[in-house]
Amino acid sequence: MTEKKSNFLLWLILGGGALLFFTLSLLALAMYLSEEGSAPSISLSSSHVAVLDLEGVIFDSKEFTDQLKEYGNRSAVKAVVLRVNSPGGGVAASQEIYEAVKKVRTEGKKKVVVSMSSVGASGAYYVACAADKIFANPGTITGSIGVIAEWYNYGELLEWAKLKSVVFKSGDLKDAGSPTRPLTEKEKAYFQSLINNMFNQFVTAVATSRHMDEAIVRKLADGRVFTGQEARTNGLVDELGTLQDAIAAAAKMSGISGEPRLVTPPKKKLSVLDFLLGDYRSAVSLHPDRSESQIRFAYLWR
């Protein structure tokens, strides 16, 4: 056998071995992810407390509202604890989760208790207000009742590049907030009116859900955050305590005697393709694309 043929066979064996190893690794990973995504079984016992995590910036509500609906409809689940660690997010997304929490209480006939971790601010606080009781740690960052809107303006960059934006529109406000030019006074008033309307919706939700005087809420609603301890003093949260305290309270409120059984949603089942792509689609749905010039109104602590 010539040296050339020997080298070819060697590389063929090494390449085939590497390909086989890669294939087996992907299969093992797929099996692992499949097991991680399997739903936990729930016994016939009716002493379950569901613990759901609301984590990160809220810009899509579907996944979390689906979880609320699922566990809200399970007869074996007597209470739901929301573990919140979020600075808030989109206005509508926060409102959708808020309404879903209310449905768990009214239609599902279940007690809902919120346990705030490090942060439960702005839109996340909006969501928390729908619960029967809110727990926070003394050092939790919460509050931030308010609205923010921001976007990038690259008009001067276009001028530098000697480019011009050409727009035909049916009305003065059709391209309001265009990133290619400064805001007009009419546009500034227009956007401020939208923000004021969304702000009033926030204040009303807090005052109604927390049974607080609206005037008192407005004094607290200048966008500032509070520690959990300060929030307790101001009536924004009910108790200072840990996740375990919130679970114990939910069990007691639901008439569960003894240690409740905890159930949590299965970890998201990822395909091999999702893994290889870094689960890109999920990341896009949860977080705003800061590269976009689109105006975003948010209940978000910055």
Residue 28: pLDDT band with limits 50, 70, 90: low
Q: How many distinct structural domains can be found in the chain?
A: 1
Here the tokens at position 140 are: 């939790």
Tell me the per-residue pLDDT of 174-193, one tens digit each, with 9 for 90 and over.
Answer: 999 999 999 999 999 999 99
Contacts 24+ apart (CB under 8 A), 264-268: 264/40, 264/50, 264/51, 264/52, 264/53, 265/52, 265/67, 265/70, 265/71, 266/36, 266/37, 266/38, 266/39, 266/40, 267/36, 267/37, 268/37
Tokens of 242: 């840990």
- The answer to whether position 78 is within a domain reads yes
Q: With 80 as the cut, is the pLDDT of residue 43 above it?
A: no
Which active-site residues does the annotation give? 122, 174
Residue 30 lies in a domain: no
- The amino acid occupying position 110 is K
Collapsed DSSP state (helix, strand, coil) of residue 52: strand
User: Three-state SS for 224?
Assistant: coil
The pLDDT tens digits for 187-232 are 999 999 999 999 999 999 999 999 999 999 999 999 999 999 999 9
- As a whole number of angstroms, the distance between CA 213 and CA 179 comes to 40
Domain of 241: which CATH number?
3.90.226.10
Mean pLDDT of the chain: 86
Answer yes or no: is 3 within a domain. Answer: no
pLDDT at 40 exceeding the cut of 80: no
Residue 13 maps to a domain: no
> SS in 3 state form for 80-103?
EEEEEEECEEEHHHHHHHHHHHHH
Please check whether residue 218 lies inside any domain of the structure. yes
* Angle, in degrees to the nearest 10, between helices 185-210 and 91-106: 20
Enclosing H/E stretch for 33: helix 3-36
Does the pLDDT of residue 295 top 80, yes or no?
A: yes
Domain assignment present for 28: no
Burial class of 136 by CB neighbour count within 10 A (0 to 12, 13 to 18, 19+): buried
With vertex at residue 276, the alpha carbon angle to CA 270 and CA 280, rounded to the nearest 5 degrees, is 70
Closest Cα partner for 72 from 97, 104, 40?
Answer: 104
Q: Is the pLDDT of residue 32 over 60?
A: no
Written as six digits, the tokens of 261 are 């059984």
Q: How confident is the model at residue 33 (pLDDT cuts 50, 70, 90)?
A: very low
Residues 184/171, Cβ–Cβ less than 8 Å: no
User: Which DSSP helix (H) or strand (E) runs through 194?
Assistant: helix 185-210
Residue 127 covered by a domain? yes
Decide: helix, strand or coil at residue 143.
strand
Ranking 116-130, 149-163, 206-220 by mean pLDDT, the lowest is: 149-163
- pTM of the predicted model, to two decimals? 0.81
> Is residue 270 scored above 70 in pLDDT?
no
Per residue in 70-101, pLDDT (tens digit) is 999 999 999 999 999 999 999 999 999 999 99
Q: Does 96 map to a domain?
A: yes
pLDDT at 5 over 60: no
Owning domain of residue 95? 48-300
